[in-house]
Chains A and B, each alone.
Chain A
Amino acid sequence: MSKAFTQIEQALSKTQRFSFTKESLIQIEKIKRKYPESKPESALLEILLLAQRQNEGWISHPALEAVAVGVNLPVMKVLEVASFYPLLSLKPVGSHCVRICTTTACWLKGSTDLGRACQKWLGIGWEETTVDGMFTLKEVPCLGDCTKAPAVQINETLRGNLNAREMTHLLQALAESVKK
């Protein structure tokens, strides 16, 4: 529990600015139209995900406020939902998010090695971000691609059948592409 609270505190203490872009606002209207008019709160999760995508992969306090205005709910209700789902992040993440599946099927196929290789190469632990803000490493439950175990999701692409060496090569390639 205490971990969740520190995350929330971090989210509250950030004094970043956030407002939805024009495209996002159009998107929000579109999302809201899917649900009955009297139930705008149904759109909450999708709008939170939208805000997260626009705000470099995490939801800051101003973003929470903007979402709350969008769905006509108190900020606290929005925070309640945002802190519940593991897909939503309330603290800053790196520009590349590496999610490694470590549940049964992937675990049997060596996701532990992948995790260790990443931790060694990046010099960070699970749920941490590198000092240069480039990579975040996350341990996630089932990505739904058990037949391609071990599965890894880097940003928004899913990769399967990886071994530790291929994994470090991938990270290296990513790091170099950013430098260029």
Chain B
Amino acid sequence: MKKNRIFTNIIDQGPVTLKAAQTRGDWGTTQEILSKGSQWIQDQVAQSDLRERSHGGEYVAKKWEKREAAYIVINACSNEPGSGTEKYLLRYEPHKVIEGALLIGAALGAHTCYICIRGEYLQEREILESALEEVREKNLLGQFQIYIHEGAGGTLCGEETALLESLEGRKAMPRVNGDRKLYGCSAVIHGVETVATIPEILRRGAPWFASLGTLHSKGTKLFSLSGHVETPCVVEEEMGVSLKELIETHGGGVKGGWGFFLAVIPGGSSTGFLPKEICNDLCLDFESLERVSSCLGTGGIVVMDKSTDIVRVTARLAQFYQQESCGKCTPCRVGTGWVFQLLERLSVGQGEKEDLDQLQDLLQRMSETSLCAFGGWAAAPVVSLLRYFQPELEHRIHMYNVASKRVKV
């Protein structure tokens, strides 16, 4: 695995100057790659079967279907709980992000790239800015322009049209028509990790990348391990690695041992929980997670041991989604608040069994009728709670009713 790692500096945590990046191999053959033309880059990326490294995992070649775009937008704006990979990339591999942006720009004939970064990421912004400064001084970008756009964050910015709205200086609300255009021109939006992977694919060739991973998920992926593990970290592994192995070799194991393991969030909060029974032999790739109705998402793995009150965790997440909902469409605005209130009550068992049915109904409506994907993201953790931990909820309701003497034991 070591020789196949793309982001070596995330482990080494060395300096991030242009010189240091060049010794790691960045900017080495960029001019050569550029001289091969846009068609070659597009073909290589298509052959490598690269998929977007966030949310649905859309094929990059499919995103490039139109084969040209005026703007490239890089999304470093979404603050989905549990995903620390974005920050590490900006902090330790800024040159890969910039080089990737340049190569995508060349492939699609774009003239400008905006890197949208959260206002909270002050340190990362400075690092990126000084990296850009160095690159401009050496005239490595040519006519291509890369700018940093400082946004004010919001999970909603993970939704592409909302990000574009925010970039155009309006409230980050999704567009009704789903129009993915910036200033009326065509734009292509990518996550940071996808962009930073591209230079290495072009340098080592698509066959190398396609030889790694599983049938439908090629290459390597960054995973961030947090929560109840001995040593939380960000690590790069081949797609299809088993969750247990990842936690035990890199995270130092679950606190209290594997037997004390309760559940995991496999890729940022919008992917829901997976209980221990499923995690025992779970592999981390797009198709395996899809099979258990989850999603690889951003690779932000949050581990929870048996001391965790899973209903309270869900209630806390529901509160987070309520605060983050933009309020444009009713199912999401009203739904997120309603779900939060119900869960607050249910976390102490105050409720009836009928409340669970109501919750189910509400979640279905939220994910089906919301304007953008956010409704589905907000519903996912609660849906998985009902799917895997319903007995726990029922037990709490029963205990509460016994304690308040409404039913006999």
Residues of A within 8 A of B (CB): 34, 36, 39, 41-46, 49, 71, 80-81, 84-88, 102-105, 107-109, 140-149, 153, 156, 158
Measured CB to CB, the nearest residue on chain B to A144 is B87
A85 pairs with B169, CB closer than 8 A = no
User: How far is A93 from B226 in the complex, measured between Cα atoms in Å?
Assistant: 32
Measured CB to CB, the nearest residue on chain A to B324 is A141
Seed contacts A146-B226, A147-B232; 5 additional CB < 8 Å A-B pairs: A71-B169, A85-B172, A86-B152, A87-B120, A103-B317
User: How far is A109 from B170 in the complex, measured between Cα atoms in Å?
Assistant: 36
B232: chain A residues within 8 A (beta carbon): 146-149
A44: chain B residues within 8 A (beta carbon): 169
Interface-centre pick from A45, A80, A102, A104 (highest chain B CB count, 10 A): A104
B105 to chain A minimum Cβ distance, whole angstroms, is 16
Q: How many A-B residue pairs have CB under 8 A?
A: 126
Measured CB to CB, the nearest residue on chain A to B235 is A147
B170: chain A residues within 8 A (beta carbon): 41, 81
B84 pairs with A145, CB closer than 8 A = yes
User: How far is A37 from B170 in the complex, measured between Cα atoms in Å?
Assistant: 17
B320 pairs with A105, CB closer than 8 A = no
A73 to chain B minimum Cβ distance, whole angstroms, is 8
B42 located at the interface, meaning its Cβ lies under 8 Å from any Cβ of chain A in the complex: no
A45 pairs with B226, CB closer than 8 A = no
B150 pairs with A45, CB closer than 8 A = yes
A88: chain B residues within 8 A (beta carbon): 152
User: How far is A41 from B225 in the complex, measured between Cα atoms in Å?
Assistant: 39
Give the interface SS of chain B, mostly helix, strand, loop or mixed.
mixed
Measured CB to CB, the nearest residue on chain B to A147 is B232
User: How far is A102 from B149 in the complex, measured between Cα atoms in Å?
Assistant: 26
Contact flags (1/0) for B108-135 with A, using CB distance below 8 Å? 0000001000111111000000000000
User: How far is A10 from B79 in the complex, measured between Cα atoms in Å?
Assistant: 29
B302 pairs with A146, CB closer than 8 A = yes
B226 pairs with A149, CB closer than 8 A = yes
User: How far is A132 from B167 in the complex, measured between Cα atoms in Å?
Assistant: 37
Q: Given A42-B167, A107-B313, A141-B320, answer yes or no on A158-B152 (Cβ-Cβ < 8 Å).
A: no
Measured CB to CB, the nearest residue on chain B to A73 is B169
User: How far is A103 from B321 in the complex, measured between Cα atoms in Å?
Assistant: 10
Residues of B within 8 A of A (CB): 79-84, 86-87, 114, 118-123, 147, 149-155, 166-172, 183, 224-228, 232-234, 265, 269, 300, 302, 304, 308, 313, 316-317, 320, 323-324, 326
Q: Given A36-B183, A39-B168, A85-B154, answer yes or no on A104-B224 (Cβ-Cβ < 8 Å).
A: no
B234 pairs with A147, CB closer than 8 A = yes
User: How far is A146 from B114 in the complex, measured between Cα atoms in Å?
Assistant: 26
- 30 of the cross-chain contacts (CB-CB < 8 Å) are A34-B149, A44-B169, A46-B149, A49-B152, A81-B171, A84-B172, A85-B154, A86-B154, A87-B153, A88-B152, A103-B81, A103-B317, A104-B313, A105-B82, A105-B226, A107-B316, A108-B227, A108-B302, A141-B81, A141-B155, A142-B83, A142-B155, A143-B79, A143-B120, A144-B120, A146-B224, A146-B226, A149-B227, A156-B122, A158-B123
A39: chain B residues within 8 A (beta carbon): 168-169, 183
In the A-B complex, the 9 residue pairs with the smallest Cβ-Cβ separation, listed nearest first, are A85-B152, A41-B169, A146-B226, A103-B81, A44-B169, A87-B152, A147-B232, A105-B226, A34-B147
B80: chain A residues within 8 A (beta carbon): 142
Q: Given A85-B153, A158-B123, answer yes or no on A144-B84 (Cβ-Cβ < 8 Å).
A: yes
